[in-house]
């Protein structure tokens, strides 16, 4: 049930958090999250520049090829014309050469260790890929 822009569910009396934007597809969600990631990376890059550590093209890894293709294609077409201009932040910085977006398949997503329950084999593989070691092995 909608009451003054807030969503109420039957199971709780607290309203759900209101979303900032509405998307029509998972590709659009990935594209918008790329923009958020890009903003954070550029902020960190500026902080590193302030400390004398210069970084050129910072890589961003994404597991959605369609989101990568939207960010690489500067031409608006029927599938992207409804996306708000502010979400094309990633595309602008990619064209400037500040970032590069590369594909990484789902199996090699290192962030899974922080956000998903993993079995022991997957956990050990990702931990090794991150360069982490068990304290008892040192």
Same domain flag for 111 and 53: no
Same domain flag for 81 and 136: no
The contacts of residue 106 (CB under 8 Å, 6+ apart) are 63
Per-residue model confidence as pLDDT tens digits over 43-61: 999 999 999 998 888 999 8
Examine residue 87 and state whether it is found in any structural domain, yes or no: yes
Examine residue 133 and state whether it is found in any structural domain, yes or no: yes
Same domain flag for 78 and 128: no
Same domain flag for 89 and 123: no
Examine residue 14 and state whether it is found in any structural domain, yes or no: no
Distance CA(117)–CA(138), nearest Å, equals: 26
pTM value > 0.85: no
Same domain flag for 97 and 123: no
Per-residue model confidence as pLDDT tens digits over 98-110: 999 999 988 888 8
| 92 pLDDT more than 90 | no
Same domain flag for 44 and 82: yes
Number of domains in the chain: 2
Same domain flag for 99 and 79: yes
Q: Which residue has the higher pLDDT, 70 or 10?
A: 70
Same domain flag for 56 and 36: yes
φ/ψ of residue 59, rounded to 5: -80, 140
Same domain flag for 71 and 138: no
Same domain flag for 45 and 30: yes
Quick one: residue 60, left, alpha or beta (phi over 0 = left, psi -120 to 50 = alpha)? beta
Which domain does 51 fall in, by range?
24-104
Q: How many residues does the chain have?
A: 138
Same domain flag for 72 and 125: no
Whether the Cβ atoms of residue 63 and residue 106 lie closer than 8 Å to each other: yes
Burial class of residue 60 in the structure, from the number of CB atoms within 10 Å of its CB (0-12 exposed, 13-18 middle, 19+ buried): buried
Position 84 scores a pLDDT of 62
Q: What is the mean pLDDT of residues 2-28?
A: 55
Residue 109 CA to its chain's centroid (Å) = 12
| 42 pLDDT more than 90 | yes
Q: pLDDT grade, residue 136 (50/70/90)?
A: confident
């Amino acid at each position: 049930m909608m009451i003054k822009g807030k969503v109420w569910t039957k199971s709780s009396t607290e309203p759900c958090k209101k979303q900032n934007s509405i998307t029509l597809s998972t590709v659009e969600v990935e594209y918008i999250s790329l923009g958020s990631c890009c903003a954070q990376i550029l902020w960190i890059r500026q902080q590193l520049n302030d400390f004398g550590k210069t970084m050129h093209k910072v890589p961003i890894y994404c597991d959605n090829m369609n989101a990568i293709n939207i960010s690489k294609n500067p031409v608006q077409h029927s599938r992207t014309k409804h996306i708000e201009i502010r979400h094309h932040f990633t595309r602008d910085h990619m064209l400037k050469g500040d970032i590069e977006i590369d594909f990484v398949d789902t199996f090699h997503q290192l962030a899974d260790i922080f956000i998903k329950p993993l079995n022991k084999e997957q956990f050990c593989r990702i931990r090794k890929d991150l360069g982490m070691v068990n304290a008892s092995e040192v």
